[in-house]
Structure 1
Amino acid sequence: MGDNNTHVSRRGALRGMGGSIVVLTGLGSVGGASAQDAITVTAVWTDDEEEDFLAVVEHAEDETGLEITYAPRDTETLLTETLMDYEVGVAPADIVVMPTEGRVRRDGEAGHLEPLGDLWDEDEYSTEHNVVAANGEAYAAPFGMDLKPGFWYRQSFFDEHDLEEPEDYDEFLDLVAEIDGISGVEAPLASGNGDGWPLSDVTEAFILRQDDGHELQQDLIEGDAEFTDDRVVTAFEELQDLLADGYFSEVRDFGIQYEFFWENETPLYFMGSWTPTFGAIEDPDDLDYFMLPGTEAMVSSINWVTVPAYVADPDAARDAVEAIVSPDGQQVWTERGGFVPSSLEVSDDAFDTEVMQDLSEHADEVELVPDLDDALGDPFQAEFWSQLLGLWAEPEQDVESIVEALDGVLQETVDD
């Protein structure tokens, strides 16, 4: 663990992180683009985020002269079909963006990826080569950072009902109870879902709010702590109590849940830095957030850009990657909102809303820790998501059984 007890700014935020997952199925250019004026890219960004990434793609086209086509996929497709393609020597696309670093390391070690460490100087980014390294090579380049700061809310809703951000956990419980009594509120806390994500994000917040929570999270990732740790049990019990009291809403797709959030039907939504740009958010200037009381750390993760080893022209793909992850490429999305660059050369002035600039500055003031399930990857990630979906569906189940099951898969994942 070493320096985990010291303050970590964004510059050193993701040094030494470990991770897991994603990406997907062939896009018709098996083996990549032809020699070589067209490049295919795949990632998980859809709807408003897709529009923002397409602006980055346009920048990369202008810089390289390449024609770049983007095809989004959902997370489940990325997870399963990419691995299937790699195992038979097929490139799902010329460029694959993976939200988690553990999968990058595994794919790199298996020979599925091109080394990309020479495309970026680790002194100019908020991470290091070893995060995505195997066999002495770095197999990805860093793009945007996702910060997961806490519960988002509308300032207008808090003003209307004379609500205040909680200073401690008792005040948080009082706030949740007060919101629960407001007319028109379905439940105080939104339950966003994909396949168990982002229920995992709010769960990690409850782990982080325990004693030395940021160290506990890092220890879990590195296999130096057990998931049956009393602090993990307490985190699950706190969630269980909130679920039993009806304070969490119906589980909905995380994007759809934004609509209920904006209508103040689920007024507190534990979500990430992408929040201000979602279509349902009509006025980003009305947004604010607070960290779960007791937490002294914020989760951060990076979207990693990779090139499969099976593309026809890796040099053209590398040119496109370099343009995408460059400071200018990252600034394009930063200026559109909801994006935190991993490039340290993008100025804070590039943020389009005050809340995003505040969030970036806040991240420099707190401990930043890796995303637990992203850092570990499968089989832990899949089991974590499954167990959380089960807990939300049946809150009365035995928490000890949940953490024992997860501890077994945690040890399997770490030992792999």
Structure 2
Amino acid sequence: MGENDTHIGRRRVLRGMGGGAVVLVGLGSVGGASAQEAVTVTAVWTEEEEEDFLAVVDHVEDETGLEITYEPRDPDTLLTETLMDYEAGIATADIVVLPTEGRVRGDGEAGHLEPVGDLWDEEAYTTDHETVAVGDEVYAAPFGGDIKPGFWYRPSFFEEHGLEEPEDYDEFLDLLEEIDGIEGVEAPLASGNGDGWPLTDVAEAFILRQEDGAQLQQDLIDGEASLTDERVVTAFEELQELHLEGYFSEVRQFGVQYEFFWANETPLYFMGSWTPAFGAIEDPEDLDYFMVPGAEAMVTSINWFTVPTYVEDVEAAREAVEAIISPEGQQIWTERGGFIPTAVDVPDDAFELDIMREISEQAEELELVPDLDDALGDPFQAEFWSQLLGFWAEPEQEVEPMLEELDAVLQETVEED
């Protein structure tokens, strides 16, 4: 993921006046894939991740004979623009990649998406149809899974300063104190931002370290638990304590924050499995991670491929989806690093980095839970992002009133879903 930059070549974009709307040549009401002789895809991947996806595209084009073009968007723009286009009966692209199951279900129920359940057998993937289904119809197909394993660090930094991974939470606090005293360190913990979403990963990790944290997270998603649960309050009070000790860095765009992380100015960065592939990581072999002490589960978020009902050539879009999500398609990105496949038939030796193989193997041994805000979608997701940005800006605020306000939106979202 990353900020939306200007690209040429595979991108064909006309920016209209008013509302910042983006209209792709040959899309929606102005013609579908067959009219422009290409299948268009939009997702949040930019920079190194865009190059990785384009490698998959090259493979699929060779295998299918289709021409595929790619248009990146930042997460907030992707979610808002597609919704506006759908309400107007326009396909933003022939294939829209959404990271939020809640949004997939909402779009499917509203009639905006084509069913694609026949394109993938749930026994051959690490997820199931129910996640993105409304009734008997399945409205998305799984591509890569983003696993949020824990705090990344550089072993060279730990070795230089005699640091060790913490075995429990008290040792974690001791580690933060030690790091905070090292010359050149701005703060032990990096604060990544992208409209609020990376901060949610940190918050969810502290929820998972509470008693029965994995079940608590699932119960929150199902509406069977409240954010006012004392365990959630405890998780946020622990985050508050770290803030008040000055252990969190200045909030920066998450891609920029990688530069500070690699320079050992913010030596611990809670981030996802895409980390080794980021450009600021000069030597992926000098990476390791540890889970938040006490956590016995990891969060996973899946990139879901959807086909809007407003696409002119639905069959071409479906053919592209099937080829991209196939084991062969997912293996291309797996070999390039920073990618955990959802297709179970991708061979283990596709992981060229030991650390990626270790994440995958550890994920198989632990319980995996859905990403809280991705699973629920809006209005909860937008409110969660907003509240966490406010919490990072004013960490001294009372935790319980904030969670009460946020829980009201959670319950509203669950009822709507």
For residues 288 and 319 of structure 2, the distance between their equivalents in structure 1, rounded to whole angstroms, comes to: 38
For 1:9, the equivalent position in structure 2 comes to none
For residues 415 and 104 of structure 1, the distance between their equivalents in structure 2, rounded to whole angstroms, comes to: 16
For residues 28 and 170 of structure 1, the distance between their equivalents in structure 2, rounded to whole angstroms, comes to: 57
For residues 395 and 181 of structure 1, the distance between their equivalents in structure 2, rounded to whole angstroms, comes to: 22
Compute the displacement of 1:347 (Å): 1.0
SS of residue matched to 2:304? strand
- Which residues in structure 2 correspond to 1:64-143 (within 5 Å)? 64-143=64-143
Matched, 1:183 2:183: yes
Compute the displacement of 1:30 (Å): 2.4
For 2:23, the equivalent position in structure 1 comes to 26
- Which residues in structure 2 correspond to 1:114-263 (within 5 Å)? 114-263=114-263
SS of residue matched to 1:300? strand
Alignment-mate amino acid for residue 140 of structure 2: A
For 1:338, the equivalent position in structure 2 comes to 338
Identity %: 76
Contact persistence 1:376–1:413 (CA under 8 A) = yes
Contact persistence 2:193–2:253 (CA under 8 A) = yes
Compute the displacement of 1:36 (Å): 6.7
**Cα offsets for 1:131-172 (capped at 9, x unmatched):** 111141111110000000100000100000010000000000
Compute the displacement of 1:66 (Å): 1.0
Contact persistence 1:152–1:270 (CA under 8 A) = yes
Contact persistence 1:26–1:85 (CA under 8 A) = no
- Which residues in structure 2 correspond to 1:246-285 (within 5 Å)? 246-285=246-285
Contact persistence 2:102–2:374 (CA under 8 A) = yes
Matched, 1:323 2:291: no
For residues 23 and 368 of structure 2, the distance between their equivalents in structure 1, rounded to whole angstroms, comes to: 35
SS of residue matched to 2:33? coil
For residues 296 and 25 of structure 1, the distance between their equivalents in structure 2, rounded to whole angstroms, comes to: 43
Alignment-mate amino acid for residue 106 of structure 1: G
For residues 118 and 387 of structure 2, the distance between their equivalents in structure 1, rounded to whole angstroms, comes to: 40
Alignment-mate amino acid for residue 181 of structure 1: G
Compute the displacement of 1:76 (Å): 1.1
Contact persistence 1:26–1:91 (CA under 8 A) = no
- Which residues in structure 2 correspond to 1:253-402 (within 5 Å)? 253-402=253-402
Alignment-mate amino acid for residue 362 of structure 1: Q
SS of residue matched to 1:165? coil
For residues 53 and 359 of structure 1, the distance between their equivalents in structure 2, rounded to whole angstroms, comes to: 21
For residues 201 and 327 of structure 1, the distance between their equivalents in structure 2, rounded to whole angstroms, comes to: 28
For 2:13, the equivalent position in structure 1 comes to none
SS of residue matched to 2:151? strand
5+ residue gaps in structure 2?
1-20
For residues 384 and 294 of structure 1, the distance between their equivalents in structure 2, rounded to whole angstroms, comes to: 24
Compute the displacement of 1:404 (Å): 0.5
C-alpha spacing 1:248/1:413, structure 2 compared with 1 (3 Å):
same
For residues 392 and 29 of structure 1, the distance between their equivalents in structure 2, rounded to whole angstroms, comes to: 43
Contact persistence 1:379–1:413 (CA under 8 A) = yes
Contact persistence 1:331–1:341 (CA under 8 A) = yes
For residues 358 and 41 of structure 1, the distance between their equivalents in structure 2, rounded to whole angstroms, comes to: 31
Q: How many residues align?
A: 393
Contact persistence 2:26–2:36 (CA under 8 A) = no
Contact persistence 1:26–1:93 (CA under 8 A) = no
For residues 153 and 25 of structure 1, the distance between their equivalents in structure 2, rounded to whole angstroms, comes to: 39
Contact persistence 2:26–2:35 (CA under 8 A) = no
**Cα offsets for 1:54-87 (capped at 9, x unmatched):** 0001111111111111010001111111000000
Alignment-mate amino acid for residue 326 of structure 1: S
SS of residue matched to 1:111? coil
Compute the displacement of 1:35 (Å): 4.7
Moved more, 84-93 or 56-65: 56-65
Compute the displacement of 1:38 (Å): 0.8
Alignment-mate amino acid for residue 373 of structure 1: D
SS of residue matched to 1:187? coil
Alignment-mate amino acid for residue 29 of structure 1: G
Compute the displacement of 1:274 (Å): 0.1
SS of residue matched to 1:299? strand
TM-score, length basis structure 1:
0.93
For residues 407 and 353 of structure 2, the distance between their equivalents in structure 1, rounded to whole angstroms, comes to: 41
TM-score, length basis structure 2:
0.93
Alignment-mate amino acid for residue 258 of structure 1: Y
For 1:15, the equivalent position in structure 2 comes to none
Cα RMSD between the aligned structures? 0.9
Alignment-mate amino acid for residue 79 of structure 1: L
Contact persistence 1:25–1:82 (CA under 8 A) = no
Moved more, 43-52 or 129-138: 129-138
Alignment-mate amino acid for residue 117 of structure 1: G
SS of residue matched to 1:340? coil
C-alpha spacing 1:154/1:176, structure 2 compared with 1 (3 Å):
same
Alignment-mate amino acid for residue 333 of structure 1: W
For residues 38 and 394 of structure 1, the distance between their equivalents in structure 2, rounded to whole angstroms, comes to: 48
SS of residue matched to 1:251? strand
Alignment-mate amino acid for residue 205 of structure 2: A
- Which residues in structure 2 correspond to 1:40-79 (within 5 Å)? 40-79=40-79
For residues 91 and 413 of structure 1, the distance between their equivalents in structure 2, rounded to whole angstroms, comes to: 25
**Cα offsets for 1:311-362 (capped at 9, x unmatched):** 1100011111111000000000000000000000001110110000011000
5+ residue gaps in structure 1?
1-23
**Cα offsets for 1:68-110 (capped at 9, x unmatched):** 1101000111111100000010000011111111111110111
Q: Select the structure with the greater relative contact order (CA < 8 A; seq sep ≥ 6).
A: 1
Compute the displacement of 1:294 (Å): 0.5
